[in-house]
Structure 1
Amino acid sequence: MTALPPGDYVIRPVRADEWIAVRELRLRALRDPVAHLAFLETYEQAVERSDTYWQERTVRSAEDAEGARQVIAEGPGGQWLGSVTVLIEESGTIDWAGFPVERRQGHIVGVFVRGEWRGSGLTKALFAAGLDWAWASGAERVRLIVHEENGRARGLYRKLGFAPSGVTVPLAAAPGAVEVEYVLEP
């Protein structure tokens, strides 16, 4: 697909009441052929989660939330085309992998764009919105973690300016496999 003309989609944060659409997009992402490399949960795990879980997840990253922001691309007819979520990690805390957080940073998670929209410039637009929010929230750097075998994602992140930091995270569910931290400085 070629780049989309302006006006073919809107990039915006999710609203707290959009939990059904958040769930539907996440379940679609978990059915992607590389979902096993891109996400730490499975479709089977996610589909079993309660409505309350999805409601709370959406509220925590909605437009009014302070510590997280989920940005979506909304296309013609209201169809959600993709999403990026940015979490703020505070200096002096311990991250999800057990590493100390040395300075306030954004952590990008949940990157997904529907297959038919990949290569259109949509992912770049989602990242731009997520990064703008992270910088405005006082992040001193932004990072993401990517599976060492997810070449498509690693190539995209490099094109967006991210570089490997040298930090790797072993995957408990796959002995011998690691994920690699990529970072972007302002």
Structure 2
Amino acid sequence: MDYDIRGVRAEEWEPAREIRLAALRDPVASIAFLETYERAVVRPDEFWQQRTADAAEGRLSRQFIAETPDGEWAGTVSVLIERPADEPGFGEAAEYDQTHLVGVFVRPGHRGLGVLDALFREAIDWSWSLTGPPVERVRLYVHEANARAAAAYRRIGFVPTGRTVRLEGDRDSLELEFEIRR
């Protein structure tokens, strides 16, 4: 199947909300996302409108989607821009200009068809194209128990950095940092 890989548009807040809620209902959501379905589903429309508008603007983040010819959103990934002068996000503060991939999700019926690869290719290319100081690396975190995701990220070219983060609500679990360098 052909997929259109593109940035989300500001007016697409309803499908952006729907795919996020679908991701949070996925069987591995508890180890793949820091947010819960219960918390997200009660957020007001204004939250989703602003979140989508910000992701469409691309100033601090950018969301990419894989769209089927009939308009279904098959998958998504978001990119957060991290600069050394910024407040630390998840994990350690940025030592240099980098981006951070988050919110990775491909619907079950589209897995194994190249959607993840295409989304990551778009997200990484966008990262390298940012103006200002060049982005030195693209990073992401994966839960230590999410072997399927870790294998996919390795296949795409991400490598473990050895850095880890303990989760606030589950101090016994680790998130493992992976990266691709320019």
Q: TM-score range by the shorter chain?
A: over 0.9
Out of 68, 73, 77, the position equivalent to 1:75 is: 68
Distance 1:93 1:69 in 2: 17
1:175 to partner: Cα distance: 1.9
Deviations 1:121-175 (Å, cap 9, x if unpaired)? Answer: 1110000001110010131100001100000000000001101111100011112
Extract unaligned runs of 5+ from structure 1.
Answer: none
Q: Secondary structure at the match of 1:17?
A: coil
Question: Whole-Å Cα distance in 1 between the matches of residues 86 and 92 of structure 2?
Answer: 9
* Corresponding position: 1:95 with 2:124: no
Residue of 135, 138, 159 corresponding to 1:139: 135
Note if 1:113 corresponds to 2:109: no
Instruction: Let me know the Cα RMSD of the aligned residues.
Output: 1.1
- Decide whether the 8 Å contact of 2:4 with 2:69 is kept in 1: no
Shift of 1:94: 3.6
Partner residue, 2:8: 14
Deviations 1:45-85 (A, max 9, x none): 000101011011101111x3222110001102111000011
8 Å contact kept, 1:92–1:102: no
Provide the C-alpha distance between the structure 2 equivalents of 1:168 and 1:175, rounded to a whole number of angstroms.
Answer: 12
CA distance in 1, matches of 2:36, 2:92: 24
Judged with a 3 Å threshold, the aligned counterparts in structure 2 of structure 1 residues 109 and 98 are, in CA distance, closer, same or farther, namely closer
* 1:55 aligns to 2:58 (yes or no): no
In 2, distance between residues paired with 1:86 and 1:79?
A: 21
Q: Which residue of the other structure, out of 149, 153, 158, is the alignment partner of 2:154?
A: 158
Amino acid at match of 1:67: L
Q: Which runs of 5+ in 2 are unaligned?
A: none
Deviation at 1:98, TM superposition (A): 5.7
Moved >3 Å (runs of 4+): none
Q: Distance in 1 between matches of 2:152 and 2:5?
A: 19
Structure 1 CA distance for aligned equivalents of residues 159 and 15 of structure 2: 32
Aligned length: 179
SS class of match (1:146): strand
Task: Give the Cα–Cα distance (whole angstroms) in 1 for the partners of residues 9 and 117 of structure 2.
Answer: 21
Amino acid at match of 2:88: D
SS in 1 for 2:118: helix
Partner in structure 2 of residue 66 of structure 1: 59
Report what 2:40 is aligned to: 46
Letter in 2 for 1:177: S
Counting aligned pairs with the same residue, the percent is 51
